[in-house]
Amino acid sequence: MAKNSNHHDVEKQAESIKEPAEQTNVPLPTQKDGNSLKSDDTSVLPERDQWANKLDFVVSCIGFAVGLGNIWRFPYLCYKNGGGAFLIPYFICLICGGVPILFLEISLGQFMRQGGYGVWKICPIFQGIGCATTVIAFLMNSYYIIIIAWAVHYCFSSFTSELPWSHCNNSWNTPNCSTFESGANYTNDSNRVDSVVQFWEKKILNISDGIDNPGGIVWQNAVCLLFVWIVCYFCVWKGVKWTGKVVYFTALFPYLVLTILLIRGVTLDGAIDGITFYLKPDFKKLGDSQVWIDAGTQIFFSYAIALGAMTALGSYNKFHNNCYKDCIIVSLANSSTSLYAGFAIFSVLGFMAKQQGIPVDEVAEKGPGLVFIVYPKAVTQMPVPTLWAILFFVMIFLLGLDSQFVGMESFITVIVDLFPVLRKKWYKETFVAGYVVLSFLIGLSMVTQGGMYVFQLFDYYSASGMTLLWVCFFEAIAIGWVYGGKKYYDNLELMLGFRIDPWFRICWSVMTPVVTFAIFISVWVTFEPLTYNRTYEYPGWAQAIGMCMGFISMICIPLYVPIALFNAKGKTLKQVSISSSFVKLLIFPSKTINIQKAFCNRIKYSSAPFSLS
């Protein structure tokens, strides 16, 4: 730990340093006034962006973390896994894994003043983590926006006096279409298909019979996709100062809509049945390993970690910003929103179940099925259905939108940090435009008649639980063991001005690696090949492509190890301070005095915050 005088000197130099920090292993951008980065040619390139104020950062984090998963995944998992009893494994995984990794990513970005790739210069041998998160972010941004495009399509379709999915008098409906009205008598229900399902599959998706039959582009979805990409472009093209203002509306307005839907939902007949079903505890479920797997994967999904996005957002903070408090605020907002959304969703599902005279579990679904089938069906049974449909899909659009453009910002930050010339006027705007065009072209494969099958491949493999858990495991190992939890605590004290709770260090060193590794192994043990609608089985070649999308990010971490060693100073392993194999270093750390120098850059307390030795 630094002496008080040293600590004072560092703070003083952090405010006044003019010269580039001393470096040994890797070059880092210079720091001025402890908060803005410049390239070596400060006379040509503009300074690195910075949040206009603290609140911009907090709202952006909430906007990105609080997304569609809070609406369509958490309530389903809660009722499926024992209702209120599910909160026990949920909060255990939250405390042991979610919050510690969230704080690690935000603080690391703030400390290093770099995006998801550059921050791992603090531990060069694990810079593959930055490559992995960048790949995941790019793939996720390419497919996540498709959901928003579907929501836009639904929203535009709702501007009618009679919702098109509420009846069977449309051109796409088949003779076996039914509205399944309460009290109606049907001689052969097994052959009938709900009008809501037909609207989803035959109008919105116009779905083909398999991924090997892509068919043509569904032009309505393509236009909606183009519209959403254009909106996202103008949300991020000017950097975080512009994004920080847009996100106030996109992040906060959904709470207003959700509250309106909740108030309406709890006044419906049968709402109490749905809420009871949602929270009724079944403690026997806690003995099922799948419950713990679901809790862990939900935490890492909903907290948007292992994507490089939180690191990118933190990198635009002032150096002495209290990100410790910010992290707690974001965590509370995220988990509270999940619980809050559950009341709004299940109050409506309880009403829907009572209207149809069936149990709640028969109408409760997860994922797109909840957003595009169950809830649209529910609004047809409400007074003034058009109003509630528009409000609901506007909320889905905004919830997805802020997650999308903040995800874009995480990818853009990495590229701009690697190529600072993009900070010049119009250079960044042009680059972002090129990135949007490329992503739009990739997205066109998901708005064809076979696009739903492609979308599911991306969703199931590219940003799945196994990839996120893999990255989180190595993030904890890199800081907790290789760089050193104590050293990082000293760095945080330098940055924050106080020493944080020791629980985080325990998590990075022990709890988080154990939790993430255990869930990762369980995911593989219980792994099942992807299917669509529980009936269509993907061909082997499609499954192989999906697996490659997952492995292309995961392989970055081990692949970068020999690259880091090759680029290290010295002609032999001995000269780069590695006296034995990587396995020996992990098993017998006490025998290798220079492990930190071999694998990490160490922070000098007597110099600028980013001076490395």
Q: Identify the residue whose tokens are 């919830």.
A: 399
Binding site listing for Na(+) = 63, 65-66, 70, 302, 334, 399, 402-403
What sign does the dihedral 287-293-298-303 (CA atoms) show? positive
Return all residues near 500 (Cβ < 8 A) that are at least 6 apart. Answer: 324, 489, 492, 493
**Whole-number Å distance between alpha carbons of 329 and 400:** 21
CA 449 vs CA 229, 305, 367, 498: distances in Å: 20, 32, 20, 57
Rg (CA), the chain: 25
Contact by Cβ (8 Å): 145, 447? no
**Whole-number Å distance between alpha carbons of 138 and 243:** 19
| Cα 426 to the center of its chain, rounded Å | 29
* CA geometry: angle 609, 613, 34, nearest 5 deg: 10
**Whole-number Å distance between alpha carbons of 196 and 582:** 57
Count Cβ atoms below 10 Å from residue 592 Cβ, excluding itself.
Answer: 18
Angle at which helix 323-356 crosses helix 240-266, to 10 degrees, equals 30
**Whole-number Å distance between alpha carbons of 249 and 258:** 14
CA dihedral 62→67→71→75, nearest 10 degrees, is -70
Binding site listing = 63, 65-66, 70, 302, 334, 399, 402-403
Strands 36-38 and 30-32: antiparallel
Concatenated DSSP letters for 304-366? T-SSSHHHHHHTTS-TT--HHHHHHHHHHHHHHHHHHHHHHHHHHHHHHHHHHTS-GGGT---
**Whole-number Å distance between alpha carbons of 122 and 124:** 6
Strands 531-532 and 536-537: antiparallel
- Name the DSSP class of 450: T
Largest CA distance in the chain: 86
Strand partners, 178: 194
- Label each residue of 53-103 as H, E or C: CHHHHHHHHHHHHCCHHHHHCHHHHHHHCCHHHHHHHHHHHHHHHHHHHHH
Contact by Cβ (8 Å): 186, 356? no
